[in-house]
Amino acid sequence: MAKRQRATTTMSLSEAKARLDDLVKRGRAHLYKPIAIAEILFRNRVQKDVDLATLQEYRRKSYEWCRQIAKELYGRAPDLNSRYWDQMFDAGKLPPAAMVSLGDINRRNGGIVEAYVYGILLDRIAGILRIIESVHPDKAKEFDLSVFLSLFEEDKRFRRSVDKAYEIVVYALFNTVTKHLDAKVTLCVDENSDVLRDFEEFARLVLGVDRNHPRIEQPARLYRIGTANAADAGLDMWANFGPAVQVKHVSLTPHNFETISDRSRAEKLIIVCKSMEAKTISAVAHQLGLGDNLRGVITEKDLSRWYGLACGPKYCDSLGKDLLESVLNELSLEFPLTNNAQTETVHRFLERRGYDLTRLTGEWAIPE
């Protein structure tokens, strides 16, 4: 069994707190990593079963502690890459020396660092609620896509979540318009095929057809690929009618276009981005041999035009209303603490822990 190594270096409280604040700043709205830090400090302070100087005692365990709290607060637990998680304790971030410093002030002040993290979480909840309250399905004519996205871009608490907001507005638009087009997808096989006769059970289980029902029809739909928190270049949406959709809140350049296309194996690919270098992208697509696989590139100008049409006088009470209801639904899935029941759960959790947020003043005041 490997010998557990204890930290022998020290770190000033100001440096340790600065690193914690950087972790908060870089985190998405769920604050999974800061919550993990708070839970490590809680166990050190209350249960006294964690030595903060010994990384092996909490590096991996902290992931499960975070999952437990997230399940209680959010109603679901995160699934994150182990290396992505371990990076939190790298030398340039929050190594044991920083944890020891934070643990000392936390024990001497009744869990003030823990309260600080959860106070920031409540502040995030309040901010997201204000964003959600700006979306009114019954007032679709007042909705402005650029204004909505700016609420994420201009608020430093949510800049890390703007890509998710972008995915949400793209998905809501694509799926709502597809529904209102009443688009159908048909799958059919040759009922007299020998392959169907021999593989009928397979066809029934995998394709939903058999010799008595060789043709099925279903609504055309799009689906988001989860709500992952680590950045990735994988698919953001797939459709039951063929194309895969990648949504990137960046200006498309030859470099990141190649990165995106290399990760996709779809026969048809649609890319949604802020803007693109049209001539260059066309040339790069040809060089990469995508050919007809790239169905098209959609920019933020296209999205704004379509949102304006959907929420305009002609469609505001039908398609526009459904569109904004879809936006709200996806926001609630992405940010689960935006419903009253879950918010109350957080308040009960803080009361149970005995966190007094009025003590968060001075250097421990919630950042503006």
Task: Pick the range with the lowest mean pLDDT from 113-122, 158-167, 285-294, 317-326.
Answer: 285-294
pLDDT in tens, 33-65: 999 999 999 999 999 999 999 999 999 999 999
- CA separation for the pair 335, 165 (Å, rounded): 10
Token pair of 236 as six digits: 């953001």
pLDDT at residue 232, as a whole number: 44
On the question of pLDDT at 306 being above 90, the answer is: yes
Domain covering 144-183+220-310 in this structure, CATH number: 3.40.1350.10
Split at pLDDT 50, 70, 90, the class of 343 is: confident
* Choice among 92-101, 138-147, 172-181, 340-349 with the minimum mean pLDDT: 340-349
pLDDT confidence of residue 266: 57
The Cα 230–Cα 244 span in angstroms is 20
Pull the structure tokens for residue 313.
């006088």
Cα 118 to Cα 112: distance, rounded to the nearest angstrom = 10
Say whether pLDDT at 262 is over 90. Answer: no
What pLDDT is stored for residue 267 in this prediction?
64
**Digit-coded pLDDT (tens) for 238-257:** 888 888 887 877 776 666 66
- State mean pLDDT over 335-347: 77
Token output for 292: 């007809």
User: Residue 368: its pLDDT value, please?
Assistant: 77
> In terms of Cα–Cα distance, which of 302, 285, 303 is closest to 294?
285
Confidence (pLDDT) at 239: 87
What is the mean predicted confidence (pLDDT) over 141-169? 90
φ, ψ dihedrals at 333, nearest 5°: -75, -40
Query: pLDDT tens across 86-99, in order?
Result: 889 999 999 999 99
CB distance 16 to 90 below 8 Å: no
Could you tell me the pLDDT band of residue 1, with boundaries at 50, 70 and 90?
very low
Mean pLDDT, all residues of the chain? 86
Domain borders along the chain are 13-129+339-364, 144-183+220-310, 184-219
pLDDT at residue 315 greater than cutoff 90: yes
Residue 42: what are its φ and ψ, rounded to 5°?
A: -65, -45
Q: Can you tell me the mean pLDDT for 208-231?
A: 80
The band of 335, judged by pLDDT with boundaries at 50, 70 and 90, is confident
What is the mean pLDDT of the segment spanning 307-323? 97
Q: How confident is the model at residue 258 (pLDDT cuts 50, 70, 90)?
A: low
In single-letter form, the type of residue at position 325 comes to: E
Instruction: Report yes or no: 45 and 72 within 8 Å, Cβ to Cβ.
Output: no
> Quick check: 136 pLDDT over 90?
yes
> Tokens standing for 305?
């035009």
The rounded percent of the chain whose pLDDT value lies above 90 is 57
For residues 339 and 125, give the distance between their C-alpha atoms in angstroms, rounded to a whole number. Answer: 10
281 pLDDT higher than 80: no
SS (H, E, C) 296-352: EEEEHHHHHHHHHHHCCCCCHHHHHHHHHHHHHHHHHHHCHHHCHHHHHHHHHHHHH
pTM: 0.80
- Tell me the pLDDT band of 333, cut-offs 50, 70 and 90: confident
pLDDT at 265: 54
246 and 235 Cβ atoms separated by less than 8 Å: yes
* Neighbour order of strands in the sheet with 269-273: 222-224, 237-239, 244-247, 269-273, 294-299
Q: At what angle do helices 112-132 and 321-334 cross, to 10 degrees?
A: 170
Question: In sequence order, what DSSP letters do the residues of 9-28 get, joined into one string?
Answer: ----HHHHHHHHHHHHHHS-
Q: Which of 69, 81, 85 shows the shortest CA–CA distance to 30?
A: 69
What's residue 26's pLDDT? 86
Burial of 207 (0-12, 13-18, 19+ CB in 10 A): middle
The SS3 call for residue 298 is: strand
pLDDT of residue 268: 77
pLDDT score of 298 more than 60? yes
Alpha-carbon span 230 to 239, nearest angstrom:
23
Query: How many Å apart are CA 3 and CA 68, to the nearest integer?
Result: 28
272 SS3 class: strand
